[in-house]
Every structure is written in C-alpha cells, then in structure tokens.
C-alpha cells in the first residue's frame, strides 16, 4: 500500500512540475516573402525568412538614397529643380521646375511622404544624373557588405535590374540609422516647406510610418524609424528600426501581398527579439584587453579599437565567457604611438572564435638607433670572417716579404762583391 501511495505521489510530481515545461519562444508568423530581424550592434540575424532572395525593394530604396545624400551633401545647400523631377511617376510632392529647396527640405519629403520627384532632384544634385547617382548607391552598397544589391534609380520605381535582399536592406537601414540627421529627419511627424519661389504656395509632408505615429493603431513605443514601399510588381515592403534598453534591432520585410501587415509583423518580431535575446558588451573601445611583453622589464598595454558586443539567449548572460588572443609578433625593435594599431587578435567566446579585433598600443614607445663602436664593429659576428680573411692575407704577405729579406741578406753576405758592384752602378 505504501509503495502504491509513493507511486501516486511521484506521478503527481512529474505531472505538475515536469509535465508542463517552460514554453519555448514562439517565432512569429510573417506574411511577406522575405524578412529578417537583425541585431544592429553585431549584425547577427535573430530571425530570417529567405534572407538572401533577390527582390524589388520599391520605395525602401529611399533609405539608401538618403544615406548617400547625407554623406555627400550639405543639408543647407540649395537645389534648383530641373525638368526631370516633376515628370517622374508615382508618389510626388509636386515639385515645379525652377523651384528652389534645400537638401534638408527634399530629404524630409522623400522619407516622410516618399516623394519620387524629391528623390530624383536629390540624385541629380548629388550625382549629376540619375545614372551617376545609381553608381554611387552601388558603390556604397559594396562598402557596407550589401553585395547582393543593385540599384538603377533613387526612388525604387520598378526595374528588373533594381534589386536587393531582406538581409542587404537590413544592412543599409542599419548604416543609415547611424548616419547623422537620418533619424531626426525620418522621425518628424510632419514637415512644412517654405513658400514656393515660383507660385508662393506651401507644401506639406506627413509621416507615413505608422509604427512611430502615436495616434496610429500600429504605434510601437520602441520604434525609431521606418520606410514603407510599394509598386505593383514589387508589392509591399518595409524596413524599420526599434530600440529598447540599449538594444537596437532592424526588421525588414519584402514582397508582402497584404497592405500594412508589415506593421503588425514588425511589432511581433521586435517583441520576439527583445524578449528572447540579450546584448552583452564584451569590451569597450579603448579598454585594455591584453598586454605585450617586449622584455622582462617592458610591457605594453593593448587596447580594443572598437566596442565588441555579443548576442545570447535571455538568461544566459552570465554564461558568456570571452578572451582576447593576440598574434605572435616581434615588436622589440618597433617604435609606435599610443592608439596606433600594432597587433591583430581574435576574440573568443566560450572557447570559439568570434570576431577579429585589431589592438592598439596603450602607450608611446620609441626605439633609439644603436650606435656601434669600433670595438663592437670588429667583434660583430657578420664582419669578423671578413676581418680574419683580410688579416690572414696580410700576414702571408708579411711572411713572404720577411722570407725574401732574409734570403737577400744571406746572399749579400755570401757574395759581397756582386752586391757591391750593383751598388756602384
């Protein structure tokens, strides 16, 4: 009977405590054909769906356009509208040929309203032409690792050769969000333009990114920025940034059939990311992470040249163990300044290679040239064989000369008359 009671109690324990294990994190459903959730600090993908599929980006292209413009133009520079921008298809602010606006004005209309005419005006101003600007876009894409992207225009109007991927779009968005003024411009709720110099009318641009509009049903309090896109061929696309407790995430969606579904999908993905992953800072830029022993009396501190972060599952932060292993290199005869990169290293996390980290010197070091004395020169191991050879040759010459001198002296003693006659001659 007792055994039966114990058995029932044991079964009860397993049913209550082990029969309902902690629920695994449920990955949200995403409607679009391609999507990624990227940690901005590390570039790690926390979620992906066809991340490398080549797709048409529609107006999310304008994130790259803004990035290139911000890096190559003054916000206060004045742009005179040419004949091409007013004739462009799609969403427009309504630019008129001959109007003059600043780069800042046009960027606001392009990012908030998604004005294609403003994108073309900026492209012509910065790149000289749409084609020239597209070359700048493609060059920038390669610089940031968006290697599967190719742009032919600044607006995102459909072109079979105008493509990117969900992963590349996340890289582009991450870079743009780090660029000065991008967040400030893209976060504006509304922007009022100065009166037109042509007809005196004022223009307005409202932000179409519902994720940051507080009066929107899609509002998400941690959202920082976002850009929508749509063409008949590309369908709906969206790229955005959110930040919570110091962790910044990028969510991109491409080719969705359902309008505005990406707002809901973005909120779900962000919650999934923030609730299930933690960002751990391993090292700070300028932090001493290792040292280099020049000799027994001299040790050089080695500094991290960048912040190093690592993403781990929520609750596993204390199990992240890291170390820095620097390359073996002889620096005993090398001079360098504080902050100068002198060694390469590998950061290991839990004994696995994680990321390469250049190391900088923590102090100045000057190696003075060695002055060689005559005595040291003679004893130099490289010059000693030469000196011995020359000395031996001179010694032999001396012995031969001495031997001839003795021989001549003996002949003179033996035949004095002969030598005396030579002397008289």
Which residues, in sequence order, are CB contacts of 224 under 8 Å at separation 6+?
177, 183, 187, 212, 240, 241, 242, 243, 248
Residue 240 annotated to the active site: no
Per-residue pLDDT at 408 exceeds 80 = no
Bind-site residues for substrate: 227
Q: Where are the domains of the chain?
A: 34-277, 284-361, 374-424
Cβ atoms of 138 and 148 closer than 8 Å: no
The pTM assigned to this predicted structure is 0.81
Is residue 62 part of the annotated active site? The answer reads yes
- Flag whether pLDDT at 23 surpasses 50: no
pLDDT reading at 392 higher than 80:
no
The tens digit of pLDDT for each residue in 130-162 reads: 999 999 999 999 999 999 999 999 999 999 999
Fold exhibited by the domain 34-277: Beta-lactamase (3.40.710)
State residue 350's pLDDT score: 97
Position 17 confidence tier, pLDDT thresholds 50, 70, 90: very low
Q: Determine whether 32 is an active site residue.
A: no
Binned at pLDDT 50, 70 and 90, residue 391 comes out as low
Q: CA–CA separation, 262 vs 32, rounded Å? A: 8
Q: Quick one: pLDDT at residue 38?
A: 99
Q: Does domain 284-361 have CATH number 2.60.410.10?
A: yes
Judged against a pLDDT cut of 50, whether residue 20 lies above it is answered with no
Residues placed in the known binding site: 227
Checking if the pLDDT of 40 tops 60, the result is: yes
Can you name the residues that pair with 190 across neighbouring β-strands?
Answer: 206
What is the per-residue pLDDT for 5?
41
Is pLDDT above 50 for 18? no
Q: Quote the CA–CA distance of 267 and 348 in Å, as a whole number.
A: 33
Q: How confident is the model at residue 400, as a pLDDT?
A: 67
* Catalytic, out of 2, 23, 54, 59: 59
CA–CA gap between residue 321 and residue 348 (Å, rounded): 8
Report CA Rg, the chain. 38
Q: Name the more confident of 390 and 48.
A: 48
Per-residue pLDDT, 163: 98
Q: What pLDDT digit, counting tens, does each position of 355-378 carry? A: 999 999 999 999 887 665 545 555
């Amino acid at each position: 009977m007792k055994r039966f009671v114990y058995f029932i109690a044991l079964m009860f324990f397993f049913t209550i405590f082990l029969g309902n294990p902690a629920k695994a994190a449920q990955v949200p459903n995403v409607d679009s054909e391609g999507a990624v959730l990227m940690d901005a600090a590390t570039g790690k993908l926390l979620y992906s769906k066809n991340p490398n599929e080549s797709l048409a980006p529609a107006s999310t292209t304008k994130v790259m356009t803004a990035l290139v413009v911000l890096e190559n133009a003054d916000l206060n520079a004045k742009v005179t509208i040419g004949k091409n921008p007013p004739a462009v298809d799609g969403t427009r602010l309504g630019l008129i040929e001959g109007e003059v606006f600043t780069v800042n004005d046009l960027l606001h209309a392009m990012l908030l309203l998604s004005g294609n005419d403003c994108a073309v005006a900026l492209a012509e101003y910065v790149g000289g032409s749409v084609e020239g600007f597209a070359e700048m876009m493609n060059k920038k894409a390669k610089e940031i690792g968006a290697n599967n992207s190719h742009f032919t225009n600044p607006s995102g109007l459909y072109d079979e050769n105008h493509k990117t991927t969900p992963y590349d779009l996340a890289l582009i968005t991450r870079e743009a969000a780090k660029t000065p003024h991008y967040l400030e411009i893209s976060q504006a709720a509304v922007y009022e333009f100065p009166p037109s110099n042509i007809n005196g009318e004022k223009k307005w641009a409202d932000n179409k990114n519902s994720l940051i509009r507080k009066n929107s049903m899609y509002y998400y309090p941690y959202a920082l920025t976002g850009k929508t896109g749509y063409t008949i061929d590309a369908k709906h696309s969206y790229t955005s940034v959110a930040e919570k407790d110091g962790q910044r995430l990028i969510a991109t969606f491409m080719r969705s059939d359902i309008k505005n579904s990406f707002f809901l999908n973005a909120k779900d993905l962000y919650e999934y990311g923030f609730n299930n992953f933690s960002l751990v800072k391993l090292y700070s830029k300028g932090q001493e992470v290792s040292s280099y022993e020049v000799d027994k009396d001299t040790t050089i501190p080695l500094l991290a040249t960048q912040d190093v972060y690592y993403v781990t599952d929520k609750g596993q932060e204390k199990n992240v163990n890291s170390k820095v292993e620097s390359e073996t290199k002889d620096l005993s005869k090398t001079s360098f300044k504080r902050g100068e990169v002198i060694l390469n290293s590998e950061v290991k996390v839990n004994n696995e290679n994680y990321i390469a980290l250049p190391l900088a010197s923590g102090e100045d070091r000057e190696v003075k040239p060695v002055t060689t004395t005559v005595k040291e020169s003679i004893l130099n191991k490289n010059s000693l064989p030469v000196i011995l050879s020359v000395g031996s040759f001179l010694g032999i010459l001396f012995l031969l000369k001495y031997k001839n001198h003795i021989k001549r002296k003996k002949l003179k003693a033996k035949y004095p008359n002969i030598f005396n006659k030579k002397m008289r001659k």
